[in-house]
Structures are given as structure tokens and as C-alpha cells.
Amino acid sequence: MQYRGGIDLGGTKIQAVVVDEAHRIVAQNRCATPSSGGPQAVARAMAQALRDAASQAGVDTGHLAGIGVGSPGHVDSAEGTVARAGNLPDWQAPFPLSAALSELLGPPVFLGNDVGVAVDGEARLGAGRAYDSFLGVFWGTGVGGGVVLGRKRWLGRGASGEIGHMIVRRNGARCPCGRRGCVEAYAGRRAMEARARRDVERGAKTTLFKIMEKKGRSQLSSGVFAKALESGDEYAIRLIERAVEALGAGIASACNLLDVEAVVIGGGLGTRLGDPYAKRISEAMLPHLFTPERPPRVQVVQLGDLAGALGASLLVPGSAGNAEQARRSESSAHVEPPAPHGHPGQPGRPMTKR
Ligand SMILES: [Zn+2]
């Protein structure tokens, strides 16, 4: 049996998996992303995360066929470097991540963009298997995405799929990207947190920050938002409604252009809030759809927060044929797929107000 490694490098956590030839996860491990020490410290933590997963699987990392890595920032797959990874410590100049990991672990290392590999993971092993065309939307700290057309990810000139920077309001709220009125300015976790902090300073009442402290967090994580929503925090409910409206408008605009079969929602908030919110996004899209009588199906990812690491493992050459095999044998269902949503209600009905 030949095993591969996959690592999803995130701003807050590192997820590592060891997979077999049929893309089954044989071991996994996750750790916090170092917040200091620069790229070297991050590379060491990534190596350790994979080493721990491999030892659980009873495999020496040196015997892996290869290791795929999904990374944020500017990824140069050919050079094996990552630059300008804004959420990671002191990581501006290009750092040779492939070479560093290869030296620590042994096998060749292949790099891809974090959201791109997660969309590929869903396309080949998850929710996207059912569709020729879909839009992947990763709703988390930011709002990332990917476009799959004819079962292949549309890369453009390397920067396609930025669903988070579709404009939903000209001269609207300031986006973390520096522009105005993007989806992410309303729906990104980081942008929502900044707004909540400003509003609280101005006297807004919310339990968000109390929940954050109770959970021992320093940020409004997806779990903090989920808890506040469950407890009926009206401020949090309005903030998330605003996010859903922005996502609905932005995703619908993209669908008007591409007419994809489905929208697959993932990311920290997307997976944490799950099906009920996929349904709300679907409803928020309806008034903006050019053909509301046949809206795309909206569903959550099937690989959950392992999509990135699994998708990264597909970067290792030779894994493509295996994906076909896995699809045929259905043996790749690591996570039981939830029943997909039908499109809600009557087409063209007004948006639900809560
Ligand atoms: Zn933007």
C-alpha cells in the first residue's frame, strides 16, 4: 500500500492527513499555527503535524509517495515557494516551503493554493462529484472560492474564483482587501469581527465577546458566532443576516454569469453553521437570480474541514487515476454525505425576512 500526505496550512491551524491509494484517511492530526518565528517555525510545525499523523498510521514519513500542501498567500507551485501569506507570521518574501518540508520529512512536496486544493478535494472526492459545474464558496476568515467547469477548475490567469471580492455594493463597506463593497466586507469573519468591535465601542449590546472570553479565544471564531446565534443574540443574528444577504447577492451574480449546477459552501463559518445557513444563502440568492425558476442547488461541503488536507494530497502526481477508482468504488466516503438541499420554496418568492 502506497500512502500520501496532505497538509492544509491555515492562519490558525495546521491540518495533516495520511491517505491511502483509495483516498481513505488512515490518520490525521491537527495543531495550532505558530504565531511567531516566521516561515521556518511554521514549516517545522507542519512537519511535526504530519510526522504525528504518520506515526499513528504506522508509516515513516520517508516512505510516503509524496506530500501535498495547500497554502495561503502567493503560491508558486513550479518554484515551490510561498510569499505574502498575510495571516502567517513574518511571511512576506518568497519562502522555499517545498524544499524546507522535503528536507524535514523526506518525500517530494507539492504546493497548491489553499482554497484551490479544497475545491479540487470537493470536486473529486466530495460534494462536487455529482456535478459537471459548480461554484465552491469558502466562508470563513475571508471568503474564498473556486469555479469548476466541465469537471475542471477554471484557473483564469491564476487568480480566478475570488467570489469574496464580487461587488455587492458600490462604494460600500471597506473590505480587508482595501477595496469597497466586496462580499467579504460584509461576510468575512475578520470583517464582521472588526465591525462588531467598533459597534460595541459605540454601545451596541452583544454577547459575542463574552462568549469569546469564556471559550478562551482572542478572536470571534466560527464557534463563537454559532453559540451567539444559538443563544438568540440579536446583534449577532443581524450581523450574520447581513453576511447571508451579501453572500446571496454575490453568489447569485456569479451564477448569472456562469449558470453552474450547484454551489458548495465550506469554510469555517460555512461548515460550522451548516445546512440551515446553506438554505438561507440559497433563499438570499433567489431575488437576484436571472433564472430563479431553476436555481442552482446549494449545499455544504462533504469533506468538512478536511477538504483542504485531502485536496492537498491530490497534488501528489499519480493520485488522479486513483480518484477515478475511488469514485467508482464509492470507497472515498470519509464523511457520510448529508442529503443535499432541494431548492427551497416557490421560485421567485421574496426573500425570507427574519
Ligand atoms: Zn475585497
Rounded to the nearest angstrom, the distance between the alpha carbon of 92 and the centre of ligand 1 is 20
| Domain 129-301 class, CATH top level | alpha beta
Answer yes or no: are the C-beta atoms of 282 and 270 closer than 8 Å: no
24, with CB counted inside 10 A (0-12, 13-18, 19+), is middle
* Average pLDDT along the chain: 90
| Domain 4-119+305-329 class, CATH top level | alpha beta
According to DSSP, the β-strands at 67-71 and 4-9 are: parallel
**pLDDT score at 320:** 61
Rounded to the nearest angstrom, the distance between the alpha carbon of 220 and the centre of ligand 1 is 20
Q: Which residues surround ligand 1, an ion (CB under 5 A)?
A: 165, 175, 177, 179, 182
Q: How does pLDDT run across 246-299, given as a tens digit for each residue? A: 999 999 999 999 999 999 999 999 999 999 999 999 999 999 999 999 999 999
**pLDDT score at 1:** 81
State how far the Cα of 100 lies from the Cα of 145, in Å rounded to an integer: 28
Which residues does 62 contact at the CB level (< 8 Å), separation at least 6? 105, 106, 107
Q: How does pLDDT run across 66-118, given as a tens digit for each residue? A: 999 999 999 999 999 999 987 788 999 999 999 999 999 999 999 999 999 99
Rounded to the nearest angstrom, the distance between the alpha carbon of 179 and the centre of ligand 1 is 5
Lowest model confidence (mean pLDDT) among 40-49, 57-66, 80-89: 80-89
**Strand positions, DSSP E, 45-108:** 67-71, 74-76, 81-83
* 234: pLDDT strictly greater than 60: yes
Within the chain, all domains assigned CATH 3.30.420.40 are found at: 4-119+305-329, 129-301
Average the pLDDT over 117-131 and give the result. Answer: 96
* 52: pLDDT strictly greater than 80: yes
Rounded to the nearest angstrom, the distance between the alpha carbon of 185 and the centre of ligand 1 is 6
The enclosing H or E element of 197 equals helix 189-201
**pLDDT score at 352:** 36
Burial pattern 45-58, b for ≥16 Cβ within 10 A else e, equals bbbbbbbbbbeebe
**pLDDT score at 87:** 77
* 348: pLDDT strictly greater than 50: no
Answer yes or no: are the C-beta atoms of 95 and 53 closer than 8 Å: no
